[in-house]
Amino acid sequence: MEGKFMSEILKVLSGIRATGRLHFGNFLGAVQNFVKYQKDGNICLYFIADWHTLTTLENPEELRTNLTEIVKDYLAAGLDPDKSIIYAQSSIPEISELCLYLSMLQPLGELQTIPTYKELVRKFPNRVTLGLLTYPVLMAADILGPKATLVPVGEDQVPNVELARDLAKRFNNRYGKTFPIPEMMQDMVRIPGLDGEKMGKSDADNSIDINASIEEIRRRYLTKGVTDKNRVRASDPGDPYNGCKSVYPIHELVTVEETENRQIAKACQAAAIGCAECKNILVDNIARILEPFQERRRELAEKNEYVREVLREGGKKAHRIISITVSEVREKMGITIY
């Protein structure tokens, strides 16, 4: 059985590219889950995939700033450097070495069928680099380097994690049991943006900035938040579950009291609540989550040296774990460093 030689302790790992700042979708869908995994007995590794960012971002200053700003967001959201290993991918050169070893086991054709790759080829045909093609192999190195057992990801990353699982199995078959097969955890729910599409799609103005003022967030929901389009007048009953694109789905995630959610849904179905009122309630509930975050985030804004220290310490810890795996891999594959 696959889970058999998975150790009792969970080794949770996830990465994020430094293409921009965190938005409310990352915050709700990903980071809040990362925080939940931080508890006794779990080892959590959360890193910024700066190498992966290079597939699409060319501005070095932007990359550097995004990286440290994301770490501040992580810390303000509750990731604790004493409980989680927070690091930059590039701090551990062995990850790229492992990527090279894994690339020897990776059939080329498979890489060309990965949906995210195909989509980028379609969108940016003159930007198809070798780095883009090998993106999933580097991701497998991220995951297998620390021998992660649980990888929380969003839907779009499923094929990449599948590929990492396949590489782990292939390596184990050829060289003997080395890697646990990482389980995928699809608990990073898709968070709709203001237009109802996935939040943060680069070509849409549909994001909620977690550092925006509550008034700004309210204004954006009130003016841009797409609701049930069949609900033309306030007297028309609405369909919160299937019709409402950007508001009700977020209620389910931020409006903590289940009864309150059900009341909102019922009121919508009975045309007893208008969309503006419903959005105002939503933003009040978002404020309850974001206000304490924003306060901590402001305190961190100028603490660049502290952030660098967190990254250095996290880098050391991650290096200690990953370098052991990479020595083992070298040994098994017949590589001796003279």
Site residues (CB under 6 A) for ligand SF4?
Answer: 227-228, 231, 238, 240, 244, 247-248, 268, 273, 275, 278-279
Closest chain position to ligand TRP (CB): 15
The least CB distance from residue 67 to ligand TRP, in Å, is 13
Q: Return the one option of ligand TRP, ligand SF4, none that residue 87 interacts with (CB less than 5 to 8 A, by type).
A: none
**Distance between CA atoms of residues 166 and 140, nearest Å:** 9
Number of residues that bind ligand TRP (CB under 6 A): 14
The least CB distance from residue 193 to ligand SF4, in Å, is 15
b/e sequence 242-251, b meaning 16+ C-beta within 10 Å? eebbbbbbbb
> In whole angstroms, how far apart are CA 276 and each of 225, 227, 281?
10, 10, 9
Q: Return the one option of ligand TRP, ligand SF4, none that residue 278 interacts with (CB less than 5 to 8 A, by type).
A: ligand SF4
Q: Return the one option of ligand TRP, ligand SF4, none that residue 146 interacts with (CB less than 5 to 8 A, by type).
A: none
Stretch that binds ligand TRP, among 13-21, 223-231, 241-249, 327-335 (CB under 6 A): 13-21
Is the CB of 55 or the CB of 255 nearer to ligand TRP?
55
Q: Pick one of 17, 218, 251, 297: the residue that binds ligand TRP (CB under 6 A).
A: 17
The least CB distance from residue 91 to ligand TRP, in Å, is 14
Q: Does 168 bind ligand TRP (CB under 6 A)?
A: no
Stretch that binds ligand TRP, among 75-83, 151-159, 208-216, 233-241 (CB under 6 A): 151-159
Cα–Cα nearest to 293, from 86, 74, 81, 80: 74
The least CB distance from residue 154 to ligand TRP, in Å, is 7
Q: Return the one option of ligand SF4, ligand TRP, none that residue 231 interacts with (CB less than 5 to 8 A, by type).
A: ligand SF4
The least CB distance from residue 289 to ligand SF4, in Å, is 19
Q: Pick one of 35, 132, 143, 265: the residue that binds ligand TRP (CB under 6 A).
A: 143
The least CB distance from residue 288 to ligand SF4, in Å, is 18
Structural contact between residues 72 and 300, judged by C-beta atoms closer than 8 angstroms: yes
Is the CB of 84 or the CB of 206 nearer to ligand SF4?
206
Reduced 3-state DSSP string for the chain: CHHHHCCCCCEEEEEEECCCCCEHHHHHHHHHHHHHHCCCCCEEEEEEEHHHHCCCCCCHHHHHHHHHHHHHHHHHHCCCCCCEEEEEHHHCCHHHHHHHHHHCCCCHHHHCCCHHHHHHHHHCHHHCCHHHHCHHHHHHHHHHCCCCCEEECCHHHHHHHHHHHHHHHHHHHHHCCCCCCCEEECCCCCCECCCCCECCCCCCCCCCECCCCHHHHHHHHHHHCCCCCCCCCCCCCCCCCCCCCCCHHHHHHHCCCHHHHHHHHHHHHCCCCCHHHHHHHHHHHHHHHHHHHHHHHHHHCCCHHHHHHHHHHHHHHHHHHHHHHHHHHHHHHCCCCC
Q: Return the one option of ligand SF4, ligand TRP, none that residue 143 interacts with (CB less than 5 to 8 A, by type).
A: ligand TRP
Q: Return the one option of ligand SF4, ligand TRP, none that residue 247 interacts with (CB less than 5 to 8 A, by type).
A: ligand SF4
Residues in region 113-142 near ligand TRP by CB under 6 A:
139, 142
**What is the contact surface with ligand TRP in residues (CB under 6 A)?**
13-17, 49, 52, 139, 142-143, 151, 153, 157, 160
